């Protein structure tokens, strides 16, 4: 792939050896280096990753990945959280794991940021602090509360059928992420017509959401089986595979 050619990558690697994806080998450092090379200046890579627990000890592979990306030149623009609204109980001596990391890596500073908004909790007119002087006297004025604010960097999604997607075929892949998660990143870090890439596209979630949001997409997976699923899903839901 060409150097400096990709606007945005949204992807999720195999997590340690939690699932073996038919035994394919995943060379993290090589992939990290190539992602840096092909990303445009100001382009973003969203790296979504969790950790395995080895005999009661979390691997922290997620953090090791983030540190390595930083070492090879990416700015770690944000460490976001993908929080799952519904998760099965997993460990008797720890809280149920309900999140993964979404590292937002950038080659320089993001050339695109379209912040997603959410409604403010309260609305209407309220006495708001206008000026806090050095004497600690607050002058208050009656003002309209803003109706919405920029979202926080903790994003919540329902997972599973109907949550991640309604496409039954996607569940032939063992580890998909929610369509809305991919879409939220695509809208935040890219514009219409930009190229969105997923080098480990699995069931094709990133590709589908890129196409639905008028972006171009490139999806790669080492498994022919998963590529077949992704292609069929794209044809079923978009009517075309291009």
Ligand X SMILES: C[S@@+](CC[C@H](N)C(=O)[O-])C[C@H]1O[C@@H](n2cnc3c(N)ncnc32)[C@H](O)[C@@H]1O
List residues near ligand X by CB under 6 A: 12-14, 21, 24, 26, 173, 175-177, 199-203, 205, 220-223, 226
CB 39 to ligand X: min, Å = 17
CB 58 to ligand X: min, Å = 18
Q: Would you say 42 or 163 has its CB closer to ligand X?
A: 163
**Distances in whole angstroms, Cα of residue 82 to Cα of each of 78, 86, 159, 180:** 12, 12, 11, 11
DSSP-derived pairing of the beta strands 154-157 and 195-198? unpaired
Cα distance between residue 234 and residue 223, in whole Å: 17
Secondary structure in 3-state letters for 44-68: EEEEEECCCEECCEECCHHHHHHHH
* Residue sitting closest to ligand X (CB): 202
Q: Which residues contact 197 (CB under 8 A, 6 or more apart)?
A: 6, 8, 9, 10, 11, 38, 206, 217, 218, 219
Q: Would you say 39 or 205 has its CB closer to ligand X?
A: 205
CB 126 to ligand X: min, Å = 42
Q: Would you say 42 or 222 has its CB closer to ligand X?
A: 222
Q: Would you say 59 or 75 has its CB closer to ligand X?
A: 59
CB 43 to ligand X: min, Å = 19
Cα distance between residue 144 and residue 125, in whole Å: 4
Q: Would you say 179 or 194 has its CB closer to ligand X?
A: 179
Tell me the two tokens of residue 180.
């809305």
Q: Are 175 and 12 in contact (CB under 8 A)?
A: yes
Q: Would you say 10 or 195 has its CB closer to ligand X?
A: 10
CB 120 to ligand X: min, Å = 32
CB 177 to ligand X: min, Å = 5
Task: Return phi, psi of residue 185, to 5°.
Answer: -70, -40
CB 73 to ligand X: min, Å = 21
For the chain, where are the alpha helices, taking DSSP H only? 28-38, 61-71, 179-189, 205-212, 224-238
Q: Would you say 6 or 201 has its CB closer to ligand X?
A: 201
């Amino acid at each position: 792939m060409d150097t400096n050619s990709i606007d945005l990558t949204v992807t999720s690697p195999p997590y340690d050896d939690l699932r073996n994806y038919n035994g394919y080998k995943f060379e993290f450092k090589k992939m990290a280096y190539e992602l840096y090379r092909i990303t445009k200046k100001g382009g973003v890579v969203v790296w979504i990753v969790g950790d395995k627990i080895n005999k009661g000890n979390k691997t922290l592979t997620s953090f090791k990945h983030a540190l390595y990306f930083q070492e090879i030149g990416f700015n770690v623009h944000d460490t976001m959280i993908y929080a799952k609204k519904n998760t099965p109980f997993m460990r008797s001596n720890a809280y149920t794991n309900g999140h993964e990391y979404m590292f937002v890596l950038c080659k320089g500073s993001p050339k695109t940021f379209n912040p997603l908004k959410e409604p403010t909790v309260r609305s209407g007119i309220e006495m708001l602090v206008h000026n806090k002087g050095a004497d600690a006297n607050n002058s208050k004025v009656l003002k309209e509360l803003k109706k919405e604010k920029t979202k926080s960097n903790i994003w919540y999604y329902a997972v599973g059928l109907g949550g991640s997607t309604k496409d039954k075929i996607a569940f032939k892949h063992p580890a998909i992420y929610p369509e809305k998660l991919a879409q939220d990143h695509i809208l935040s870090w890219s514009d219409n017509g930009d190229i969105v890439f997923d080098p480990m596209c699995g069931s094709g979630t990133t590709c589908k959401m890129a196409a639905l949001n008028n972006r171009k997409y490139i999806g790669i997976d080492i498994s022919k089986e998963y590529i077949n699923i992704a292609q069929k899903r794209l044809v079923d839901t978009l009517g075309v595979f291009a």
